[in-house]
């Protein structure tokens, strides 16, 4: 559960979890349906109460993602002249962080895959992220045991690892040891996407994760309504909502209203 502390000194992604109540993490697809609208969506999410923005990098083989996010990434790659990938997402994040439509931009985590990072080079990715003001990375296909080269290159950036209901105690311990910022707890096995029901074992899963880390634990995959978000916020430190937001990303007014409802539900839960 959330510590209930207000930590004004928190930095990186931890800043989004420092308000003494559960945090709302909003996933948006960079470049979808075009660059300008994705920037407007980031600004709208920040105004509506997002505590952390998870900015997805369009990628051709997004193995962890469901159809809504896969389609959004495909549109982003095709709709923007010259394509849209990791380099363009870093530029988008830099612009948002430098000129947020709020007093202080919420911390930004890039959600990407190993292949784009390796193509650009770990050192270059980390350097550009630090210059942009990005706080951290979520890389679903980078297991902790293979993360040493990236961790060595990414000083000053948080790296968020994922755990799932099937994670062994050894995996939980490794993730707890190497993660920074927060731990991403996948609510159910499979790919991202909206679910009509949440697992009855979610509270037990979060408790198991917390045995291995003092970091905030945020739950994602399948959270799609304010009611579900509030339920998750009763047991976790953060709630991650993705597909249900991306579905509304081409209508910024609708997105803003939905994020505001999510934020109200998450923030009132305790």
Q: Which of 7, 34, 54, 197 is catalytic?
A: 54
- How many structural domains does the chain have? 1
Cβ count near 83 (within 10 Å):
13
Q: What is the CATH number of the domain that holds 158?
A: 3.20.20.70
The alpha-helical segments, DSSP class H, found in the chain are 35-48, 67-79, 86-98, 114-120, 122-132, 148-153, 169-178, 202-210, 226-233, 243-246, 252-267
Q: Which domain holds residue 259?
A: 12-267
pLDDT tens by residue, 16-41: 999 999 999 999 999 999 999 999 99
**Residue 254 in domain:** yes
- For the question of residue 65 being annotated catalytic, the response is yes
pLDDT tens by residue, 60-83: 988 878 899 999 999 999 988 888
Q: How many CA atoms lie within 13 A of 23 on its CB side?
A: 35
**Residue 2 in domain:** no
**Residue 127 in domain:** yes
CA distance 78 to 44: 24
pTM value is: 0.92
Q: Which of 51, 65, 230, 237 is catalytic?
A: 65
- For the question of residue 261 being annotated catalytic, the response is no
- How far from the centroid of its chain's Cα atoms is residue 153's Cα? 21
């Amino acid at each position: 559960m959330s510590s209930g502390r207000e930590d004004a000194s928190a930095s990186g992604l931890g800043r989004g979890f420092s308000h003494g109540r559960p945090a709302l993490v909003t996933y948006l697809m960079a470049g979808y349906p075009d660059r300008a609208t994705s920037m407007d969506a980031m600004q709208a999410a920040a105004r509506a109460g997002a505590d952390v923005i998870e900015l997805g990098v369009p990628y051709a083989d997004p193995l962890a993602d469901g159809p809504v996010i896969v389609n959004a990434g495909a549109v982003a790659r095709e709709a923007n002249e010259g394509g849209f990938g990791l380099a363009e997402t870093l530029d988008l994040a830099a612009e948002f962080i430098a000129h947020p439509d709020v007093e202080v931009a919420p911390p930004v985590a890039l959600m990407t895959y190993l292949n784009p990072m390796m193509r650009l080079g770990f050192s270059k990715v980390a350097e550009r992220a630090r210059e942009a003001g990005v706080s951290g990375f979520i890389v679903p296909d980078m297991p902790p045991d293979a993360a040493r080269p990236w961790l060595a290159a990414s000083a000053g950036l948080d790296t968020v690892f994922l755990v799932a209901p099937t994670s062994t105690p050894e995996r939980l311990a490794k993730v707890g040891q190497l993660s920074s910022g927060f731990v991403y707890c996948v609510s159910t096995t499979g790919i991202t996407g909206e679910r009509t029901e949440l697992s009855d074992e979610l509270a037990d899963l979060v408790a198991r994760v917390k045995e291995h880390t003092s970091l905030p634990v945020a739950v994602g995959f399948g959270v799609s309504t304010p009611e579900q978000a509030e339920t998750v916020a009763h047991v976790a430190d953060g709630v991650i909502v993705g597909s249900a937001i991306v579905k509304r990303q081409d209508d910024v007014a609708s997105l803003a209203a939905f994020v505001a409802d999510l934020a109200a539900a998450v923030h009132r839960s305790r």
